[in-house]
Structures are given as structure tokens and as C-alpha cells.
A and B are shown apart, each in its own frame.
Chain A
């Protein structure tokens, strides 16, 4: 084969691309940012603007009104409780999926994603069907708060499970085997070897669950009733045209969510190098 007959003849480049040295993807970054701005950033900015447009005093008053404060407290407490229960039960479920073997395991594994696939309004409906006033078990939930917790546990179930599961699967069994050979009991092995490896995953799963619970609406709108969840209060404010109050409470929720987001990302940017 001669090297003079070539399908690929080199030629020098022409045009502005040869002269202008712009980092690759700058134009696309601009387009993506434009899309994000139009869909997400500008609307959120409008909320912030509405909250503070009448001055910091008005914002402060709206946020410290008794209704708003109690709503925030209830929401935060409920979300923390749900995150805590979710951390424990989620780890347990992840354990039986990763370390155990039983018939129907693959089906159970798929079902974990049900809260992701199911519309939240249906989640709310299912829960009051079972545990609400018309329950077949006569389990009349005198405590609507328990209903709220159940609804939130439903929608946040996958977060901890899916965060912990892959870590459990990847765990090197040798560390546990070494501990066993040195005489450690199972409880000790779990506490000192397994759990420390799982802690970051449990924490990030719980943080995501918390952030989700704080903002949950669809699963609660049918149950909440007497329980004043922040998102329900915001909805009521919007319906009664108290938009400044709604915006102010929204800003507080946004700040909480942003804090959780920042805490989650601290270990490093997820996808951009």
C-alpha cells in the first residue's frame, strides 16, 4: 500500500474557528443557562422579589406571624422525624435487599421505586383510604400528624434505600471477615466496620429525604386537615391572594432547601469537572 494515495488529505482549517480560541462548549453553556434561567431562575427570583419588595420589615413581619412560625416548626420537626425514621428503616430495607436472599426479592427491589413513579396525590389518597376516617381497619387517625408522617415516609422511602444499597453491595467483605476472625461479634462488626462506611450514604439519603419532605405538598393536601404544614399554608395564602405572605414563607423554605443542597454538594461538584 503506498502512502501517497490517501483517503484523508490534510488541509489547514479556514474561518473564524481557527483564529478565535474560546473554550469548548461556551455557546452551548450559554444556551443551557438561558433555558435554566427562563424556566427556573427567573420565576424563583420573582418570588424573592415579591417577598422583599415592600421592604425587609414587611418580610420579617410575614415570616414571624404566628401562623407562619408554627407552620415552619411543624414542617421542620415532621421532616426531621421522617428523615430519622427513614435513615433507620431505609438502611434496614437496603440491608435485606443487598445482603439477604428471599423469593420475590427482585420484585420488592422494583417496588422501592414506587414512590418515585406514583403521583403524590395518589399517595395522599391511598393513605387516607387506609388510615383515615373511612379506614377498613377502623384505624381512625385521631392524630392527623401521624397521617402526615406516614405520607412523608411514603414519598421519601426510596432516598435512603437507593443511597445505601449500592454502598452495601460494593463493601469489601474482607474487612468484616478480618474483624470476625479477631473475635468481634456481629453487633460490633456492624457498629464499627459496616456502619462507618455507610454513614455518608445514609447522611446524604436522609438529607435528600429531609429536603423533599420540607416541600411536599401533593401527598399532604388531602390529609393535612388540621395540621398546618408550610406548603399547605403557602397554598392557602396564594388562594386568598396574600401573595406577599406566601412569597415570604416560600423564601424561608427556599433558603432551607438551598442550605441542604449546599451541604450535600460540599464533597465536590457532581458532574462538572
Chain B
């Protein structure tokens, strides 16, 4: 094609125009670098996407304020609590009550119990997740132990509270919410 137009820069063995090739290579390398960057850009994009759509069951990491728009007593939503320990954290960690019935708009306080069974101090961090994922944006936490780190000395225990309400706008087809906490040992990462 246009290979013989650049007469000035011809490879002696093959008769190929080198400058044409170099131009194409540079463009393609740019695509490679851009796509490598895109892989990393997917990380913040993913968070933003989940934030906007409320997919993936991620709840807010900061406290909500309770707005008194009334309580919808015609609806009852069952809220279940489950807990799980990640690998290598020897705590007893469980909800004090396993489930509670609430009306949308009604504020409730529930407690979780944690005890450090290890012989050394551990800092724990609970990470919440709501199922079904689409309900995450309608579950508001006014106060939650998951907003802060939980340092527990060896052998001590604590009762931690969660204050929440379910949004009035919760889609009608959602009748049960499951709030799951996974507890991680972050002693190393926070020191």
C-alpha cells in the first residue's frame, strides 16, 4: 500500500518503510498503556458505579441522620442479622437477636456481642453487606460499630450497638433484608 511512499527510510533487506511501521507501533503501544491504566481505573469506577446504583450490597460508610417523615405501619420488613469471622480472628462475634420486624421509617437499636478469645490484643473491623444488594441504599445506619475500628484487649468482651431505620421508599417487593457483618483482624494494617 503506502509502504513505498517514504523512500527516505527503507530497510535495506526487506524494502519495508521503517517510519510507517514505527508510527503504527507507537499508536499500538499507546493503546497497551491506556488499557493497562484502564484496568486500574476500573477500581474507582466500580466503587462509583456501585455507589450510584446501590448494587453489590455496599452500605454507606458514614452515619445517616434520622429524618422523621413518619412511619409506614402498613408494611412490615423483616431484618435479619448474620455475622462471620474472616480467616484468623479468634473472636466470638454474634448478634444478640437474630432478627427483628420493623416498619419502614421506624428507628431501631440492636446489639452485637464480641469477645476477644485470643491471648493478645486485637483490633477488629466489621464490614457490612446487605442482601438483596438493591436494598443497600434503603438501609440507613445512624450509628454503627462498623464505622470505627474495634480494639479489644485479650480476654475482654464488648456489646456494640447498631442504630438503623429502613427507608420509606424501600421497593415493595423487598420483604426481608439480611445484614451481614464480616469481621476482620486489622491489627497489623492499623499499627
Q: Does A associate with B in a complex?
A: no
Q: Which residues of A contact B (CB under 8 A)?
A: none
Q: Which residues of B contact A (CB under 8 A)?
A: none
